[in-house]
Structure 1
Amino acid sequence: MKKFNFENFLAIKYISSKKEEKLISLSSLLSIISIAIGVGALILVLGIMNGFDKMLESKIIGANPHIIIKNFDGTFNLDRKLLGKIKSDKMVANVYPSLVEQCIVSANGQSSGSILNGVDFSDKPYVEKYIKGRTNGIVLGKELMKAIGVSAGQNVRVTLAYSNPTAMGFSPVSFEVPVTGVFDSGMYEYDLAFSYIPLDVLWKNMQTYDQINTIAVNLYNPYNINKVGSFLGKILPSQYYFVTWAQMNKNFFTALKLEKIAMGIILLLIIIVAAFDIMNSLTMLVMEKVKDIAILVSLGATSKNIKSIFIKQGLILGFIGTIIGDFLGLSLGYILKHYDIVSLPKQVYYITKIPVDITLTYVVGISIVSVGLCVLASLYPASKASRMNIIEVLRQ
């Protein structure tokens, strides 16, 4: 025969109070609602922030080389043997020699600074998926084209921050080239700053054949940068150094991480306030149930039994509120992810839907913290009930 557990029975019974104890019942209900709102909001907000983080990370990874290799001397001769060594690693998808120069792009009386990337388009470079149009001329970023008021087919003047020696001294390299394509990464800063041109066209105008200053390395898995970095450290000559996409954007990702932590702490305060509501509710319940506790003790209940009743009640309230909050957060996250409930201006965010990425780790972690806080909040009233002077109560 199954043993009757009076602790569980009384913990559940005390939650659904009688008519004369409506205040306690209402307080418990408000605690559950507060916990549900706090948990739901925390799951949803962290899911949205995580979605934005992953979206930005994917765009940064897609629009930049995963690893760039430079030379301490600046420009250097194109060494195809070195490129072959780098590409020999099974984690390396491709290696692209490039010449990157700062320049001013001018047209229609308007000018804008740009980072001009001389690349070999015949080797299908990493940015090819973001380029619309032909690549036999200059490819300008979408926002850069707007800034100087040009469209595909028009000519622009490119003035490099590089000079060629002449009889009159050094003269900046400047040339006209037709706009044949548009670079559209979906990142405003990149679309305003970057432009691309065939490497042989740039060599011809700069008169620096087979000279490069960057080796771009793309990986099959961009998160293998540390493993490939160890490989590069062994094969690269001493005058070369490399930087990964994570190092290039370290400050940006650190800021996003700190923002997520700060927002999590702020929303966690809602759950903490709800836990205090539970503590107040149980404290009131202990004061109301003084006679019941005295009778239980006189019937043989120990201090541990009395304490367990109120801890279990806090656990039940926390568990119910957390489950409702989980359902609330996951449901709202699913709706925002798959339906246009909230529309974002595309010209500002380059997306129309709010990106939501709720992971199981977040949900489980938030749920454990929420229930744990509720149990901690019940310790004080439970301890107070277990230390009550029963003899005095019975005398009264």
Structure 2
Amino acid sequence: MNFPFFIARKYFLSGKKKNFINVISIISMVVVAIGTMCLIIALSVFNGLEGLLRSMYGHFDPDIVVTPHTGKSFDFDSTYVQNIRQTAGVAGVSEVVEDNVLVQYKDAQRLVRMKGVSRDFDQYSGIKNVMVSGQFPLVRDSIGYALIGRGVQYDLSLSLKNDFYTLQMYYPKDIAPGVVNPTRMYNLLNIIPGGIFAIEKYYDDNYVFVPVEFAKNLLNYGDRLSAFDIYLTEGANAKMVKKAIQSSLGDKFDVRLGEELHSDLYKVLKVEKLFVFLILVAIIGIASINIFFSLTMLVIEKKKDISVLFAQGASTQLIRNIFLYEGCIVAFTGAAIGLVLGVSLSLLQEHFGLVGMGMDSAVVNSYPVEIVFSDVLFTVIAIIIITLLASIKPAIKAGKSFSTHTLQ
């Protein structure tokens, strides 16, 4: 006949030192709660930062990019575009000509990254969502315009309201020996500034978009291109489309997802997130040492009471379960409180922006957060493992003590 568990636990936890042990347990519970809360908030912030980066780069980068395997340009073939457009999930294809050029506006000059794009860019690109002034379409009434990053605008002191000045673009020619006339050493074309975009500092400080025909003329590309930017239909499987395009184009081209262009940055974020997770789990593990000590003290104090419980019908397994149960109560109560606080604070930050970035020039006003279920799940699993590790040793010791009193 097994001794009722709840009666055994009540009897087992009575005594003079009960209050002292309870204080240690409460301290352990508070520390576990704080650690769990910090873990949820930290992981949510990393998720928010990753989501923010994907959102920013998503305005600039296409869904899929096709570039030549060797060199920086390739000869255009209409069959390439046909094969891409016939691939299931493809919504549009933009021809791209891209290179570094020198731009001049009035007396100001600087190097920029010029990106010439075709008409599909106007329809599918997310640049239209980050325009801060001017108009988006690159070609209006058969006239080509330039879309300029806000950083480039500041450096050139460019004004869209001034119609008397155009943006002058220079690109060096293939210079033959004996050429002494400086004007024959470069190509020069003028284009009207049409709009200003603002995404992220690197793009804002470097990029200028122009019609692809203008870029071809400036660079003397003829029928050559630098890349194809591919935009997918909503709900399309990007990895499957990438695989299909790579198969149709062959080994002469590299096909990459838009997010793969920044794979190193995303890897760094994931590694940092992993280390933060491990560090905070280690802190929770250190806090659980208090659980170990409180249960061990309980074992030492209750050696005589164990034999009494045995005489009343308690088993070795019951004694061990009491200790495991006590450790779980402390850890899981702290974890539950920490989860509630962490998720609540993350939701408040997400909807109300309680903690700001502290910079006027920041991309967002407050720290971005995003709660991911897998983070909560891994946190719970980690706490379960830590609790079992902290409680199992005192439970085993209690069982041995039980066996000793049984022999006596």
Structure-2-length-normalised TM-score: 0.86
1:158 to 169, 172, 176: 169
Counterpart residue number, 1:58:
55
Pair 129,384 (structure 1): closer, same or farther in 2 beyond 3 Å: same
2:179 to 159, 168, 183: 168
1:296 to 299, 303, 309: 309
**Structure 2 gap segments, 5+ residues each:** 139-143
2:22 corresponds to 1:25: yes
Determine the C-alpha separation between the residues in 2 that align with 1:356 and 1:121: 36
Counterpart residue number, 1:356:
369
2:114 alignment partner AA: L
Shifted more, 19-28 versus 278-287: the winner is 19-28
1:111 to 103, 109, 112: 109
The answer to whether the Cα contact below 8 Å between 2:246 and 2:253 also exists between their aligned partners in 1 is no
**How big is each residue's C-alpha offset from its partner over 1:229-249, in whole Å with a ceiling of 9 and x where there is no partner?**
221122115533323223321
2:156 corresponds to 1:148: yes
Pair 9,73 (structure 1): closer, same or farther in 2 beyond 3 Å: same
Determine the C-alpha separation between the residues in 1 that align with 2:170 and 2:243: 38
**How big is each residue's C-alpha offset from its partner over 1:325-363, in whole Å with a ceiling of 9 and x where there is no partner?**
111111111111111321224644310122111122221
**How big is each residue's C-alpha offset from its partner over 1:54-102, in whole Å with a ceiling of 9 and x where there is no partner?**
1111222331122222233543443333212201122112100111111
Counterpart residue number, 1:239:
252
Equivalent position SS for 2:288: helix
1:285 alignment partner AA: L
2:65 corresponds to 1:68: yes
Deviation at 1:382, TM superposition (A): 0.9
Counterpart residue number, 1:323:
336
Deviation at 1:18, TM superposition (A): 5.7
2:39 to 25, 32, 42: 42
Shifted more, 345-354 versus 266-275: the winner is 345-354
1:133 alignment partner AA: G
1:69 alignment partner AA: V
1:80 to 71, 78, 81: 78
The answer to whether the Cα contact below 8 Å between 1:103 and 1:116 also exists between their aligned partners in 2 is yes
Counterpart residue number, 1:196:
209
The answer to whether the Cα contact below 8 Å between 1:12 and 1:313 also exists between their aligned partners in 2 is no
Determine the C-alpha separation between the residues in 2 that align with 1:390 and 1:67: 68
Determine the C-alpha separation between the residues in 2 that align with 1:223 and 1:365: 30
Deviation at 1:147, TM superposition (A): 2.6
Counterpart residue number, 1:228:
241
**How big is each residue's C-alpha offset from its partner over 1:269-323, in whole Å with a ceiling of 9 and x where there is no partner?**
2210122110011011111222211211233322222111111111121221111
Pair 165,391 (structure 1): closer, same or farther in 2 beyond 3 Å: closer
Pair 117,14 (structure 1): closer, same or farther in 2 beyond 3 Å: farther
The answer to whether the Cα contact below 8 Å between 2:76 and 2:225 also exists between their aligned partners in 1 is yes
2:150 alignment partner AA: K
Pair 13,179 (structure 1): closer, same or farther in 2 beyond 3 Å: farther
The answer to whether the Cα contact below 8 Å between 2:102 and 2:170 also exists between their aligned partners in 1 is yes
Determine the C-alpha separation between the residues in 2 that align with 1:12 and 1:328: 30
Determine the C-alpha separation between the residues in 1 that align with 2:230 and 2:169: 27
2:353 to 329, 340, 343: 340
Counterpart residue number, 1:180:
194
Pair 205,124 (structure 1): closer, same or farther in 2 beyond 3 Å: same
Shifted more, 86-95 versus 18-27: the winner is 18-27
Determine the C-alpha separation between the residues in 1 that align with 2:41 and 2:381: 16
Structure-1-length-normalised TM-score: 0.89
Counterpart residue number, 1:133:
134
Counterpart residue number, 2:141:
none
**Structure 1 gap segments, 5+ residues each:** none
Equivalent position SS for 1:90: coil
Shifted more, 307-316 versus 289-298: the winner is 289-298
Shifted more, 250-259 versus 355-364: the winner is 355-364
The answer to whether the Cα contact below 8 Å between 1:105 and 1:156 also exists between their aligned partners in 2 is yes
Deviation at 1:384, TM superposition (A): 0.9
2:276 alignment partner AA: M
Determine the C-alpha separation between the residues in 2 that align with 1:162 and 1:298: 100
Deviation at 1:12, TM superposition (A): 6.3
Aligned length: 391
**How big is each residue's C-alpha offset from its partner over 1:8-58, in whole Å with a ceiling of 9 and x where there is no partner?**
44446767x666532101001011111111111111110111111111112
Equivalent position SS for 1:249: helix
Determine the C-alpha separation between the residues in 1 that align with 2:222 and 2:153: 29
Pair 182,294 (structure 1): closer, same or farther in 2 beyond 3 Å: same
Counterpart residue number, 2:118:
120
2:306 corresponds to 1:306: no
Determine the C-alpha separation between the residues in 2 that align with 1:293 and 1:124: 77
Deviation at 1:114, TM superposition (A): 1.6
Pair 319,4 (structure 1): closer, same or farther in 2 beyond 3 Å: farther
1:104 alignment partner AA: L
Pair 394,205 (structure 1): closer, same or farther in 2 beyond 3 Å: closer
The answer to whether the Cα contact below 8 Å between 1:95 and 1:218 also exists between their aligned partners in 2 is yes
Pair 18,298 (structure 1): closer, same or farther in 2 beyond 3 Å: closer
